[in-house]
Structure 1
Amino acid sequence: MIRLAIVFGALLGAGMMLVVSGVRRSPPRLDAALTRLAGTDTDAAAAPAPGAVQPWLRRQAQRLTGPGGLPIPRQDLALLGRSPERFIAEKIGAGLFGLCLPLLLSMLATLQGLSMPWTVPVAATLGFAAAGFFVPDATVRSTAAQRRADFRHALSAYFDFVRLAFAGGAGPSQALEQAPRYSDGWAFRRIAEAVEAAQHARLTPWQGLARLGAEIGVDELGDLADLADLAGNEGAKIVDAITAHTQQIRSRQLTEMRYDAESRTTSMTVPIATIGLAFITLLGFPQIYLLLTS
């Protein structure tokens, strides 16, 4: 019985740790931050090639993501460079893991001679399977939020390069094409690829930026595209407008960073108070015990 309790507690603790680690927002790792600064897109590099995707998985993904199917965070997946097929595979794998964990525990309980109502393993199986099925959604949402924040930080620098190009007398198309060449970061590469794809499609660079902004959920790219379109059609001087827009973006980023720091400071109050309460209880327990037993 003791062995079963130890095994059950270890497996339950491991499952809860995986769920919590997938849901909560963890601080960025140093190697991941250095990789982003070096310009290597790890998610895009880890994504499988289109030819490596199994036809069965592609059909299942199309069936599950079709009309009336499962909601897919397409903007987050496009930002991370992941395909819907890979996302569906992760959801199915996590759901199967949650489905098999209670079955394994019930088999161990049966081997130890412990009987329980059939509703307990069935309810645990359904609960763990549902939790595992939705863990990839939370993971993708959290990772995409961090990646989108990094993209907006790089975008403010891109706005500065575009503004300097406009101030130097460059036209809208030339300014938007030259600005991504000043950095080899992953965000600048995505912008350069969008501008190049627009050229191949015989579209203007700002139309390519507008498409990229709608694809990955960054509205600031659409704002820059509108300003460049205004300059291209009406010949307006947009240096001051881009400067004001850049300052607005940076002010918003500073506000978000300040709010995040304050929220992290506030969240530390609960564990500190818990540790203090436990310490006081440890110190006063002998006296309270003697008082109650005397």
Structure 2
Amino acid sequence: MPDTTTRALSLLNLLQAHRHWSGAELAARLSVTERTVRRDVERLRELGYRIESSPGAAGGYRLEAGSAVPPLLLTDEEAVAMAIGLRLAASQRLVTGPETTITALAKLEQVLPAPLRRRVNALAETVQPAGLNAGAAVSTEVLGELALACRDHERIRFAYTSATGQTTRRRVEPHALSPADRHWYLLCWDLDKDDWRTFRVDRLADVEHTRVLFEPRPLTSDEIEEFILVARSWVRQPVEADAVMALPLDRMQALFGQWAQGATAEDDGHTRWPVGGADFRETMYGLSWIPEGVAYTTDLAEPARSELRECVERMLRALDAAPPAPRRAESCPPL
């Protein structure tokens, strides 16, 4: 393969991997001059790739959508991930339904080398997403736009409808996109709230790219998981209650961290905190995280209130009773 063709393909791979590159960055990556980069960009344009260029210190190149879909370059890992994702998407609640994903999957697997096809088959059998097919339908177009914004660290704007039906316009720095417990969630830094926020993707619309890049704030995978877990807990639960604890709001927020979401000041010395779960046991688990020595009251309704009381009373009786006799050592059979 000629050097110019190899270099053009390398350039295309870079343009696909990131939303925006400066000419200097591309030249450094390819070990060529910026003039050569400009010539290679023209070659790609002649092949049907729509590449936008902008002058100036903040200028550069970006791959844009065109009137037709040009060929894509995929690494082995990207091809495997895409094939597995298409298999899962065919059975999930995506707006376009399974037909589109099945035809796309057929085209991709048709050209996969045999070793990669075996990897796809092995991994797809072990990946079992729990509960997603019972969740709200999500637009594949919106998911794609959010994924690009997360990848490229680009600020976006969108319309968001809350659980109460109120629609607001949000300006955010998207960080992570994650499926969890029947829904998709977007974790981002809310520029207006000056804090982290998690949004249900099925309640999100009119995504607008600002082309303003940002430096991602540090966040570990464990912290991301905790944010998503907190967001999942905001889905309406069969058993819900409020706990009013003898803690000022700021002190409660310092102790509870992200789990303090939804807490409000009852007065200067008390905080109201919503808690809930699938049954009284999960609600009891939430209440158990109220710090030791902090008095609280709860409006947990019947029948969960009586069920929780009966469970706690049995636990207290078990703790007050004499412990059971130690387990007897099993005798060894004679040789």
Both proteins in one fold, TM over 0.5:
no
Structure with bigger helix share is 1
Structure with bigger strand share is 2
**TM-score, with normalisation over the residues of structure 2?**
0.23
